[in-house]
Amino acid sequence: MKLPVLFVFLAVLGACSSRKEIRPIEVNRMKLIMWDLIKAGEWYNNIIAKDSTASKRKVDTRLFAQVFALHGVTGNQYYESYRYYEAHPIEFKTLVDSVDAYATREKTTLFERQNHGQAR
């Protein structure tokens, strides 16, 4: 009876140790990448909506590649990190809250610049 239990324990231990533990992109860096991806996707959607002759090709994937290059990561690194955060709900919430707070600050800054320019 002890032999099967030992075998199961060793099999589980082996499976756990054989998993590749990824180191996700840290939250502050990931936040900036996500924000830039959101902006790139929104820009792409606005261009397609305004220009009926615009090609329906996946130009957004090229935009995403540019965002990844700008931040010095590969698409694979980003998506692995994103999946890591999705699998860890507390860390994912921290990331999403961080993106939200950053977006709010960016919008506020833009609004203040626009109003400051009108006051002159």
Q: Are residues 19 and 90 in contact, defined by beta-carbon separation less than 8 angstroms?
A: no
Q: How much is the pLDDT for 4?
A: 47
Per-residue CA distances from 74 to 26, 63, 90 (Å): 14, 13, 25
What distance in Å separates the CA atoms of residue 32 and residue 87, rounded to the nearest whole number?
20
Type of residue numbered 68: F
Give per-residue pLDDT as tens, 64-97: 999 999 999 999 999 999 999 999 999 999 999 9
What distance in Å separates the CA atoms of residue 56 and residue 54, rounded to the nearest whole number?
6
Q: Which has the closest alpha carbon to 34: 91, 103, 88, 90?
A: 103
What distance in Å separates the CA atoms of residue 95 and residue 86, rounded to the nearest whole number?
10
Q: Which phi-psi region, left, alpha or beta, contains residue 7 (left: φ > 0; alpha: ψ -120 to 50)?
A: alpha
Instruction: Please list the ranges in the chain whose pLDDT falls under 50.
Output: 3-10, 12-13, 15, 17-18
Hey, where are the domains in the chain? 22-119
